[in-house]
Structure 1
Amino acid sequence: MSEVITTRREGAILEVTLDRPKANAIDLATSRLMGLTFQSFRDDPDLRVAIVKTAGDKFFSAGWDLKAAAAGDAVDGDYGVGGFAGLQELRDLNKPVIACVNGMAVGGGFELALSCDLIYAADHSTFALPEIRAGTLADAATVKLPKRIPYHVAMDLLLTGRWMDAEEAHRWGLVNEVLPREKLEDRVWATARLLAAGPPLVYAAIKEVARKAEAMEFQDAMNWITKRKFRTVDELYASDDNQEGFRAFAEKRDPVWKGR
């Protein structure tokens, strides 16, 4: 895509790398590039899983580029499709996305990781939401974090801006796994390959139901599933893949998923 955003494709997996020294901070132009990248991933039927990583091992991302803001980038400017960093508000992204966190995830960088479905972190990585010290709101984190970890822990991070190391993040369930930095990418790619070999229509249904059911009563969500009112659930139940799963089980073989 550019020197700032590079991609690598292996089969159904797309690795997206943000490389913006020194801290992988994100300005408006970079956010728009990221949005186009993730939009393309979403819309490509041959891609099933994305990995989000950044260059270097000091900063995963420092988030919003304060130097660019000081030079005129408006905080409420045009972040592009998908909102900040291209993932935060990207509609209908029904494919798994894995964050490969190697270094400090700060502010919007922390929010970028929160926009992913799985988070793997190097053991030296740290997380913080320092917006409170600048007198501003960590908006996406304020919405998402209290739903991901215990309320009082989330509020501690939001209200104080303190640092959380990778082990604490794992203890609270914010991070799936903590690994030595030299083993991090191998673990992330192993997970990506596992997911890429799985049933894409089921992944899509899981993501849509989980996302939309968050604002629904339990029984209402179950009724929507039963009545096939979720688009992805309707597509899954009417698909060849749905029957393939049953056939493979009966025939004692591995299923062959075609995404249709």
Structure 2
Amino acid sequence: MSDALKVTRNGAILEVVLDRPKANAIDLQTSRAMGEVFRDFRDDPDLRVAIITGGGEKFFCAGWDLKAAADGDAVDGDYGVGGFGGLQEMRAMNKPVIAAINGICCGGGLELALSADILIAADHASFALPEIRSGTVADAASVKLPKRIPYHIAMEMLLTGRWIDAEEAARWGMINRIVPAASLMDEVRQTAELLASGPPLVYAAIKEIVREAEAMTFQDAMNRITQRQFGTVDHLYASEDQLEGARAFAEKRDPVWKGR
């Protein structure tokens, strides 16, 4: 485990704090450590939800560590399993991940946040893709951001490096909501607890369908679902939890999800 990461298990919830003062930037070593953490989260049946946030109150994450790059970290080096920050390319990440954006979220930090499923930001958070100013490309953001917010807004951010505040980010749908900084982690943990109480096999099916359907026509995706060609859907339809959901509804009680 890297000293840059503080990892805490609270029941079915995993909290990961990226704590590399001053800017919570990510070097190759930290990226590899994050990949190991999120791989273990993905593979642990007792964990259902993860939270990623930054240490301190100023930075969520400033992205790629340019100082480390100047000392020899190659921009195309070994980021480890899951790619940069451990989330961007993590295969079969079929559990919910929440980003608690506690401050400046820029460059690779914004790309890391976009790898989460739910983004909740403190009211002082700000966002940018300043790679253009250092002569490089925000590669993951170039793929993801135009699909998340209006094309012309995404392109302006990519082409100019313009900063936006939390209010504007929420207006364009980049984040789910804004909360006062002092309430951020309480809000995020409440959301995590809500998700942790839900049906994990359904979450897995939702995430696989959303991920795989992005490159399919609507009808092709529906055919794969109805024919149980998604592994998570097939698992869900044959599971105890599928029966439990129906029984709990018929018996007018809360379901007890076992993830099997």
Q: Which amino acid aligns with 1:192?
A: A
CA distance in 1, matches of 2:45, 2:156: 41
Q: What TM-score do the two structures reach when normalised by structure 2?
A: 0.99
Deviation of 1:24 after TM superposition, in Å, equals 0.3
Letter in 1 for 2:218: F
CA distance in 1, matches of 2:251, 2:88: 42
Alignment of 1:166-245 (within 5 A): 166-245=166-245
CA deviation string 1:221-245 (max 9, x = no partner): 0000000000000000000100110
Matched residue, 1:138? 138
Structure 1: which 5+ residue stretches go unaligned? none
CA distance in 2, matches of 1:63, 1:146: 19
Q: Which runs of 4+ in 1 moved over 3 A?
A: none
1:157 corresponds in structure 2 to 157
SS in 2 for 1:185: helix
Residue 65 of structure 2 aligns with which residue?
Answer: 65
Residue equivalent to 1:117: 117
**Which residue matches 1:6?**
6
Amino acid at match of 1:63: G
**Structure 2 SS opposite 1:30:** helix
Once the 2 structures are TM-superposed, how far is the Cα of residue 190 of structure 1 from its aligned partner? 0.1
| Letter in structure 1 aligned against 2:88 | Q
* Helix, strand or coil at the partner of 1:53: strand
* Length-normalised TM-score, structure 1: 0.99
Distance, in Å, in 2 between the alignment partners of 1:49 and 1:179 is: 20
Which residue matches 2:127?
Answer: 127
Distance 1:192 1:109 in 2: 21
- Tell me, yes or no, if structure 1 residue 88 matches structure 2 residue 88: yes
Q: Distance in 2 between matches of 1:70 and 1:120?
A: 33
| Total equivalences in the alignment | 260
- 2 CA distance for matches of 1:78 and 1:10? 31
- Equivalent position amino acid for 2:94 in 1: N
Q: Counterpart in 1 of 2:246? A: 246
Structure 1 vs Structure 2 CA RMSD: 0.5
Matched to 1:3, the amino acid is: D
Given that 2:15 and 2:50 are in contact with CA atoms closer than 8 Å, whether structure 1 keeps it comes out as yes
**Aligned residues of 2:2 and 2:30 also touching (Cα < 8 A):** no
Whole-angstrom CA distance in 1 between matches of 2:227 and 2:117:
26
Distance 2:228 2:167 in 1: 41
Contact conserved, 2:54 with 2:102, CA < 8 A, in 1? yes
Moved more, 3-12 or 19-28: 3-12
Taking the aligned partners of 1:67 and 1:134, their CA distance within structure 2 comes to 13
Alignment correspondent of 1:49: 49
What is the identity, as a one-letter code, of the residue corresponding to 1:102?
A: N
Task: Tell me the CA shift for residue 2 of structure 1.
Answer: 3.4
The one-letter amino acid of 2:224's match is: W
1:104-140 deviation line (CA, Å, top 9, x unaligned): 0010000010000000000000000001111111000
Shift of 1:6: 1.3
Does the residue aligned with 1:94 lie in a helix, a strand or coil? coil
AA matched with 2:21: P
SS in 2 for 1:81: coil
2:258 aligns to what?
258
CA shift, 1:57, in A, is 1.1
Matched, 1:107 2:107: yes
Q: Within 2, Cα distance between the matches of 1:149 and 1:61?
A: 21
Aligned partner letter, 2:237:
Y
Superposition deviation, residue 3 in structure 1: 2.1
The 8 Å contact of residues 27 and 64 in structure 2, kept in 1 or not, is answered as yes
Secondary structure of 2:253's aligned partner: coil
Q: CA deviation at 1:201?
A: 0.1
Distance across 1 between alignment mates of 2:224 and 2:3: 44
Q: SS state of the match for residue 252, structure 1?
A: coil
